[in-house]
């Protein structure tokens, strides 16, 4: 699975579509799905696309997820319950409807569809054209943080509520959740966990799309750090819309010079990741033929699925010692950026506004963290033997 993300308008959809055509023409059965509510894949391929995979090129299919239909299948019970609680609390029905539209829900629903498509085993490659800023990928860390609660506390609470439902309902004045609501929460938890496992697994990686402008690059660098924090592997960078230097007038000359400077910075920031480059064209790369050219320019004679091997997320300490070390790649950070805390079996790693709560692997749970450092973009937490 390849996920394309980056700031709005930098060329995510174009890069996803170009990579898909390239993968398809190398003989791989390829599906492209957009999780961005703006359905721009149809515009990029210049073809009508339905809610089921639609063939657009040799070995390439595109799907526009019908999130409404998915919603009804997945979350309708939960929404019904939230609405009844808000109703009982005196919130007016129209405001209540709005309150229960979860931010990012559309994207998560599209990712559920992606999971189902992967499960069919029909595809060699699934390419995901993500919404800007990768906010949803961060959202997917939620099940991990909630897993302790859902797996241990939730079943108990469910039994208690079942027994006390009539009394509680009278006392609290709000409807108590029925079994179908608990079922929905558990299903949602399971669904999100599966999507996350898939996207952070060994067969998935994220490609950051950027244009060579300092503001765009700064955001891509932050995305690189936080995606790593949440366990996603970034395997390369697409630098799009690079001004060609030939025959430039003074205005373009200045842009060429500025972009070259930023590109050098990109090389430094993302090393050793590959930087795939694409020129700013005189027209929009729309339609299969244009997208094929775009993909060919991007990857040259390389295969679009080449990537460096996955770094492991946790490893044992140095051979011969009994120290255990938990490691996590955190590119682009120093020790000053990272805050660590612990509550029992869960370790919290915080960078600015982002926090990952990570249940410790079983062999580290009873131990004390004795030291921590950030070395060459990698966090290492040492535990007592
Ligand atoms: N290298 C390029 N040269 C010229 N136009 C491009 C290039 N890459 C993308 N575009 C155009 O820029 C616009 C935004 O690209 P798009 O892929 O939709 O960005 P995103 O998905 O990141 O919002 C589209 O009109 C697209 O055709
Ligand atoms: Mg797009």
Mean pLDDT, the chain, as a whole number?
85
Q: Higher pLDDT residue, 139 or 296?
A: 296
Position in ligand 1 atom list of the atom nearest CA 15 = 17
Pairing of strands 205-210, 354-359: unpaired
- Better-scored residue on pLDDT, 114 or 181: 114
Give backbone dihedrals phi and psi of 363, rounded to 5 degrees, phi first: -75, -10
Distance 242 CA to ligand 1 centre (A): 12
Q: 45 or 79: which carries more pLDDT confidence?
A: 45
pLDDT digits (tens, 9 = 90+) for 320-352: 444 689 999 999 999 999 999 998 888 999 998
Asked if 13 and 41 count as a contact pair (C-beta separation under 8 A), the reply is yes
Shortest-distance Cα residue to atom 19 of ligand 1: 11
CA angle, residues 276, 56, 5, in degrees to nearest 5: 35
For the record, the structure tokens of 231 come out as: 């366990």
Asked if residue 200 lies in contact with residue 233, where contact means CB atoms within 8 angstroms, the answer is yes
Most confident of 104-108, 224-228, 236-240: 236-240
Ligand 1 pocket, 244 CB below 6 A? no
Helix axes 12-25, 288-299, angle to 10 degrees: 90
**Ligand 2 centroid from CA 61, angstroms:** 17
pLDDT at 80 over 80: no
Q: What average pLDDT does range 247-269 have in this prediction?
A: 94
Strand order across the beta sheet in which 354-359 lies: 338-343, 346-351, 354-359
pTM: 0.86
pLDDT, residue 360, reads 86
240, two tokens = 């799009």
Q: CA dist 56 to 28, 44, 59, 283, 296, Å?
A: 14, 11, 8, 21, 18
Continuous H helices in 67-129: 67-74, 76-88, 93-99, 105-119
**Which of 127-131, 145-149, 293-297 has the highest average model confidence (pLDDT)?**
293-297
Distance 171 CA to ligand 1 centre (A): 57
CA contacts within 13 A on the Cβ side of 287: 4
- Please determine, for residue 374, whether its predicted confidence score (pLDDT) is greater than 80: yes
The length of the chain in residues reads 385
Nearest listed ligand to the Cα of residue 44 = 1
Is the pLDDT at 252 greater than 60? The verdict is yes
3-state secondary structure of 154: helix
pLDDT for 108 equals 81
Contact 94, 178 (CB under 8 A): no
pLDDT for residue 365 is more than 60: yes
* 199 pLDDT more than 60: yes
* Predicted local distance difference test score (pLDDT) of residue 316: 40
pLDDT band at 145 (very low <50, low <70, confident <90, very high): low
Q: Which of 35, 27, 30 is nearest to 4 (CA)?
A: 35
pLDDT of residue 101: 60
CA distance 149 to 134: 26
Q: What pLDDT, on a 0 to 100 scale, did the predictor assign at position 322?
A: 46
Verify whether ligand 1 is closer than 6 Å to residue 8 (CB atom): yes
The answer to whether 143 and 185 have CB atoms below 8 angstroms apart is: no
Distance (Å, whole) CA 22 – CA 305: 10
What tens digit of pLDDT does each residue of 263-292 get?
999 999 998 899 999 999 999 999 999 999
pLDDT classification of 187: cutoffs 50, 70, 90: confident
Cβ–Cβ under 8 Å, residues 132 and 124: no
Q: Residue 319 to residues 174, 314, 369, 379: CA-CA distances in angstroms?
A: 58, 14, 19, 19
Picking from 127, 159, 154, the residue whose alpha carbon sits closest to that of residue 41 is 127
Distance 191 CA to ligand 1 centre (A): 32
Q: Is the pLDDT assigned to residue 307 strictly greater than 90?
A: no
Is 4 a residue whose pLDDT tops 90?
A: yes
User: What's the average model confidence in pLDDT over 353-375?
Assistant: 88
Asked if 42 and 64 touch (Cβ cutoff 8 Å), the reply is yes
Residue 172 has a pLDDT of: 67
- Minimum-distance ligand 1 atom for the alpha carbon of 286: 27
Residues 6+ apart with CB under 8 A from 89: 174
Neighbours of ion ligand 2 (CB under 5 A): 12-13, 40
Please determine, for residue 193, whether its predicted confidence score (pLDDT) is greater than 80.
Answer: yes
CA distance 229 to 356: 7
Which amino acid residue places its CA nearest to atom 12 of ligand 1?
Answer: 11
pLDDT classification of 319: cutoffs 50, 70, 90: very low
Given a cut of 70, whether residue 207 has pLDDT beyond it is yes
Q: What is the pLDDT of residue 323?
A: 63
Instruction: State whether the beta carbon of 342 lies less than 6 angstroms from ligand 1.
Output: no
CB half-sphere exposure, 365, CA atoms < 13 A: 7
Residue of 9, 11, 62 best suited for mutating to test ligand 1, as the one with most atoms within 8 Å of CB:
11
Q: How many percent of the chain have pLDDT more than 90?
A: 51
Binned at pLDDT 50, 70 and 90, residue 312 comes out as very low
pLDDT the model gives residue 239: 98
C-alpha–C-alpha distance, residues 234 and 274, integer Å: 10
34: CA distance to ligand 1 center in Å? 15
The alpha carbon of 8 and the centre of ligand 2 are apart by a number of angstroms equal to 7
**Rounded-to-integer distance, Cα 53 and Cα 115, Å:** 14
Residue 275 sits at the vertex; the CA angle it makes with 269 and 281, to the nearest 5 degrees, is 120
Higher pLDDT, 344 or 224: 224
CA distances from 347 to 54, 199, 288, 356 (A): 44, 22, 47, 8
CA of 208 to the centre of ligand 1 (A): 14
Mean predicted confidence (pLDDT) in 213-241? 94
Using the predicted structure, report yes or no on whether residue 28 has a pLDDT greater than 70: yes
CA distance 277 to 333: 25
Q: Which ligand is nearest to the CA of 36?
A: 2
Q: 369 CB contacts (<8 Å, ≥6 apart)?
A: 340, 342, 347, 381, 382, 383, 384
Answer for the pair 325, 380: CB distance below 8 angstroms, yes or no.
yes
């Amino acid at each position: 699975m390849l996920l394309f993300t980056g700031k709005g308008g930098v060329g995510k959809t174009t890069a996803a579509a170009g990579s898909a055509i390239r993968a398809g023409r190398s003989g791989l059965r390829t599906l492209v799905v957009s999780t961005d509510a703006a359905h721009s894949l149809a515009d990029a391929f210049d073809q009508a696309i339905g809610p089921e995979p639609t063939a657009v090129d040799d070995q390439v299919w595109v799907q526009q997820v019908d999130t409404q239909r998915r919603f009804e299948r997945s979350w309708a019970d939960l929404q019904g319950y939230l609405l009844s609680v808000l109703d009982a609390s005196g919130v007016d029905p129209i405001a209540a409807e709005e309150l229960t539209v979860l931010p990012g829900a559309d994207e998560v629903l599209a990712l559920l569809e992606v999971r189902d498509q992967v499960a069919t085993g029909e595809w060699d490659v699934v390419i995901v054209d993500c919404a800007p800023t990768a906010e949803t990928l961060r959202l997917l860390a939620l099940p991990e943080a909630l897993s302790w609660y859902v797996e241990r506390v939730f079943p108990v609470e469910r039994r208690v509520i079942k027994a006390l439902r009539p009394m509680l309902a009278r006392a609290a004045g709000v409807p108590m959740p029925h079994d179908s609501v608990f079922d929905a929460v558990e299903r949602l938890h399971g669904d999100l966990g599966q999507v996350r496992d898939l996207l952070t697994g060994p067969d998935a990686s994220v490609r950051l799309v950027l244009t060579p402008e300092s503001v765009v690059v700064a955001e891509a660098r932050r995305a690189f750090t936080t995606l790593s924090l949440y366990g996603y592997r970034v395997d390369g960078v697409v630098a799009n819309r690079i001004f060609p230097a030939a025959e430039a007038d003074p205005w373009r000359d200045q842009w060429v010079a500025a972009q070259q400077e930023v590109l050098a910075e990109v090389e430094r920031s993302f090393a050793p990741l590959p930087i795939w480059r694409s020129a700013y064209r005189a027209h929009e790369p729309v339609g299969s033929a244009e997208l094929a050219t775009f993909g060919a320019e991007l990857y040259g004679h390389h295969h679009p699925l080449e990537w460096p091997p996955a770094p492991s997320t946790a490893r044992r300490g140095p051979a011969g010692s009994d120290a255990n070390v938990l490691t996590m790649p955190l590119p682009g950070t120093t020790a000053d950026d990272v805050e660590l805390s612990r509550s029992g079996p869960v370790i919290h790693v915080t960078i600015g506004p982002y926090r990952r709560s990570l249940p410790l692997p079983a062999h580290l749970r009873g131990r004390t963290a004795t030291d921590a450092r950030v070395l060459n973009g990698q966090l290492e937490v040492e535990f007592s033997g």
